[in-house]
Amino acid sequence: MIQGRVVILFFLFSLFYGCSSISRSKKNLVVSEHKDVQKWIDYFTQKDKERFERFINRGQYYRDATIAVLRNYNLPDELFYLPLIESGYVLRAKSHAGAVGPWQFIAPTAKRYGLKINYYVDERRDPILSATAAAKYLRSLFQVFQSWELALAAYNCGERRVLSAIMRGKTRNFWELSRKKLLPYETRNYVPKLMAAIEVARNLADYQIKLKKTDPIPVLVKHDFPGGVKLKDISKETNIPVRLLMRYNPTLYRGMTALERKFKGLFLPVDYSQDITLVAQKLGKQRRRLASFSARKHHRVKRGESLYFISRKYNLRVNYLKKLNGLFHSKIFPGQKINITAGVRRFHYKVKKGDSLTKIARLYRKSRRWIKRKNALASNRIYVGQVLKI
């Protein structure tokens, strides 16, 4: 308990000390000649050369935009290579610990630095928004530790682990803490791995690694848009392929705009010529019409209507309507009541403090395995505020 208090006091003292050093955040990230760095240089340029080349070429698409963010926060350009070792610049990357996106944020840290996460949107997947959050976090870590080695170590394993290691090792030298094995094994490799990536990237020709010419990420403009609209419908109206809409909007991992009255965050290229307001109005009307349909529980058949007509109206399959209503044929008559509810009702549960996956499964009479599969969960871990599909 006493040691815990000392760690907290040390952290507060370091934070206070670091606040006076904002202007010095861009202290050069010096690549050490330590043997561990050389080990990883050899690995990247020999054993794992093909994958390293693939990662660095994938990152070129985001390079200019990412470095612009880093410079805006007065940080070294070399931090551009951090996502290269974190995720290989794969926007949809997800670790076994639940870290997501190119900068591999876990949910609590992401929310602390302003990233939005819910059932429809995960801003950890956005290369610019996540880079901005990472820049804020890295800047604060450097202000505390006044060392890029320690700041990067803290980015990997957490501030408390590094502070505890410093107190136990009685040194602020990362390499000494690493030698004494006071930091986790992954962290002891994390810093030299990044330094090796930087060194190799500076000398690609020497290591015979080819850098392909790649157009940078285009300038994107954020638009307000109706909620609950599918990207494939936006694609039909704008003639922008779905794959490009997904590339411009990687946060929309459900393939639709967030289910909000007005979604503030659809990104399109700055040179997009069509009037997006007209597209939004048209798709918004369609969405409201579908929403009014989904609120209904049944449909009263009118003269001249067929089961096929009703299925098209409510975006349901004929066979599904027949099964739902116990029909063995497609014959219906005026005045007949046709159930339509089950095809459009969905249940969501927002995780509260004290909840567990077992508790929620019992509440809805489902198995944990079923809920995990429905929500693509890699483990039983859930967090407060998370929205689960039931």
The 10s digit of each residue's pLDDT in 156-204 is: 999 999 999 999 999 999 999 999 999 999 999 999 999 999 999 999 9
| Statement to judge: residues 149 and 276 lie in one domain | no
Highest-confidence segment of 60-64, 226-230, 291-295, 308-312: 60-64
| Statement to judge: residues 226 and 359 lie in one domain | no
Lowest mean pLDDT among 6-20, 25-39, 344-358: 6-20
Separation of alpha carbons 11 and 233, rounded Å: 51
| Statement to judge: residues 13 and 27 lie in one domain | yes
| Statement to judge: residues 100 and 38 lie in one domain | yes
| Active-site residue, 78 included | no
| Statement to judge: residues 324 and 358 lie in one domain | no
| Statement to judge: residues 15 and 95 lie in one domain | yes
**What's residue 326's pLDDT?**
73
pLDDT at 100 over 90: yes
**What's residue 6's pLDDT?**
40
The better pLDDT of the pair 16, 197 is held by: 197
pLDDT at 19 over 70: no
pLDDT at 101 over 60: yes
| Statement to judge: residues 16 and 123 lie in one domain | yes
Whether 212 is covered by a domain: the verdict is no
What mean pLDDT do residues 54-78 have? 94
pLDDT band at residue 366 under the 50/70/90 scheme: confident
Lowest mean pLDDT among 17-21, 38-42, 103-107, 319-323: 17-21
pTM for the whole structure: 0.69
pLDDT at 16 over 80: no
**What's residue 341's pLDDT?**
67
Task: Return the CATH number at 323.
Answer: 3.10.350.10
Whether 209 is covered by a domain: the verdict is no
**What's residue 87's pLDDT?**
95
pLDDT band at residue 228 under the 50/70/90 scheme: confident
**What's residue 312's pLDDT?**
78
- The domain tally of the chain equals 4
The 10s digit of each residue's pLDDT in 248-292 is: 999 998 888 887 767 888 898 888 767 788 888 888 776 665 555
The better pLDDT of the pair 26, 211 is held by: 211
pLDDT at 20 over 50: no
What mean pLDDT do residues 304-324 have? 82
The better pLDDT of the pair 153, 259 is held by: 153
**What's residue 230's pLDDT?**
87
pLDDT band at residue 58 under the 50/70/90 scheme: very high
Whether 208 is covered by a domain: the verdict is no
pLDDT band at residue 342 under the 50/70/90 scheme: low
pLDDT at 21 over 50: no
Task: Return the CATH number at 194.
Answer: 1.10.530.10
**What's residue 45's pLDDT?**
94
Highest-confidence segment of 3-17, 181-195, 250-264, 311-325: 181-195
What residues make up the domain containing 86?
Answer: 2-202
**What's residue 261's pLDDT?**
67
- Average pLDDT of the chain to the nearest whole number: 84
| Statement to judge: residues 44 and 64 lie in one domain | yes
The better pLDDT of the pair 291, 383 is held by: 383
| Statement to judge: residues 66 and 184 lie in one domain | yes
- Give me the catalytic one of 50, 53, 78, 86: 86
